[in-house]
């Protein structure tokens, strides 16, 4: 019975997609209604109804609503980036945080902050360049003999690369105390204090990435069958990989620039999407659209409520969700290649 249900869902991805969209909408509403401060759900509801006191209007309109919208964008970007990386490397463990893509983006932003880059657009550009360098390193390692076919060894190589960049980022903290405080606040990964201006600055990058993803979805699905099959169908595998690199750099760079490095979203979201829709990258990407925001916004709500009136770093909660998934995949008897 259960297998038949999963098979029906895989054949009709609109069934879980509609349910996830409704669940995501409910979580977004909850994110606007609750928080670590004194403005409760009833006062926030009054604001949404067009009434409410000035304090509640400020909290809802200037604090909770922007971080909710940014959480949606960050979850969407990281979830789709993880699905693209896993598809192009044919590796279920490929994830921006595990393979050093997010670390490259974070290091580039730290350097930009040290050099005095205060504008969001400069941070976005630096983050995307760092993510691009990380993507190139990931795919270079994936093509090395003896590593690209072993998911665990690929993750170990990514962990080494991430550790190196994390050490260099920590070294930057010794040069400038003012920049060090800003880097520490940003590098923990959080949606707190983010503004709608930050979101507007990354929208052009996300629009370009969306167009790229739409153009490569079908060739990427063919590439999963092998390079010869894809070439026989008229696709160019090298061009597809290059476009994936650009798309992942834009997505991860945008998310890291506005929220800091947040790990495991790109692992958990595609993992859940494949469980619902099967291995087809087109269906996986379709389900990543609600699943990514659902994970990030839910974790952000918990970060505000668990230790209220303080907040936990968002990256801590996403790691708590992602670590068991990583262990489950690694402990599988046979790690699948996508």
> What does the buried/exposed string (b/e) look like for 95-110 if buried means 16 or more CB atoms within 10 Å of the residue's CB?
bbbbbbbbbbbbbbbb
Could you give the C-alpha distances from 327 to 58, 65, 152, in angstroms and in order? Answer: 42, 34, 11
Sequence ranges of the domains in the chain:
2-26+64-330
Alpha helices in the chain (DSSP H): 2-11, 14-33, 41-48, 54-58, 65-89, 101-114, 120-142, 151-172, 177-187, 196-223, 227-232, 237-259, 265-277, 281-305, 314-330
pLDDT tens track for 174-212: 777 776 777 777 777 888 878 888 888 889 989 999 999
The answer to whether 179 and 114 have CB atoms below 8 angstroms apart is: yes
What tokens were used for 219? 């060739």
pLDDT tens track for 102-153: 888 888 888 888 887 666 677 788 888 888 887 777 667 656 544 445 566 6
CA distance 236 to 272: 29
pTM comes to: 0.86
Q: Which CATH class is domain 2-26+64-330?
A: mainly alpha
The answer to whether 268 and 295 have CB atoms below 8 angstroms apart is: yes
Q: Max alpha carbon distance in the chain (Å)? A: 65
What tokens were used for 84? 């693209």
Least confident of 17-26, 153-162, 211-220: 153-162
């Amino acid at each position: 019975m259960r297998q038949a249900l999963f098979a029906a869902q895989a054949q009709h991805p609109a069934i879980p997609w509609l349910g996830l969209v409704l669940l995501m909408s409910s979580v977004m509403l909850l994110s606007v209604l609750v928080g670590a401060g004194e403005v409760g759900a009833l006062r926030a509801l009054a604001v949404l109804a067009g009434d409410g006191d000035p304090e509640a209007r400020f909290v809802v309109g200037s604090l909770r609503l922007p971080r909710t919208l940014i959480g949606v964008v960050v979850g969407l970007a990281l979830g789709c980036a993880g699905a693209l990386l896993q598809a192009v490397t044919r590796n279920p463990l490929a994830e921006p945080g595990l393979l050093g893509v997010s670390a490259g983006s974070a290091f580039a932003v730290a350097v930009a902050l040290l050099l005095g880059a205060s504008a969001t657009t400069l941070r976005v550009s630096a983050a995307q360049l760092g993510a691009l360098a990380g993507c190139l390193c990931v795919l270079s390692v994936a093509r090395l003999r003896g590593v690209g076919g072993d998911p665990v060894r690929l993750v170990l190589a990514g962990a080494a690369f991430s550790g190196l960049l994390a050490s260099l980022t920590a070294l930057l903290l010794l040069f400038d105390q003012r920049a060090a405080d800003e880097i520490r606040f940003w590098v923990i990964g959080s949606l707190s204090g983010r503004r709608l201006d930050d979101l507007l600055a990354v929208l052009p990058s996300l629009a370009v990435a969306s167009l790229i993803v739409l153009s490569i979805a079908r060739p990427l699905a063919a590439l999963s069958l092998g390079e010869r099959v894809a070439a026989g169908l008229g696709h160019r595998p090298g061009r597809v990989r290059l476009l994936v690199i650009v798309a992942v750099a834009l997505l991860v760079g945008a998310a890291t620039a506005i929220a800091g490095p947040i790990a495991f979203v790109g692992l958990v979201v595609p993992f859940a999407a494949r469980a619902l829709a099967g291995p087809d990258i087109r269906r996986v990407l379709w389900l990543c659209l609600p699943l990514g925001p659902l994970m990030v916004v839910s974790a952000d709500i918990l970060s505000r409520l668990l230790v209220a009136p303080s907040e936990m770093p968002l990256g801590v909660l996403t790691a708590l969700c992602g670590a068991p998934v990583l262990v489950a995949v690694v402990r599988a008897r046979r790690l699948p290649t996508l």
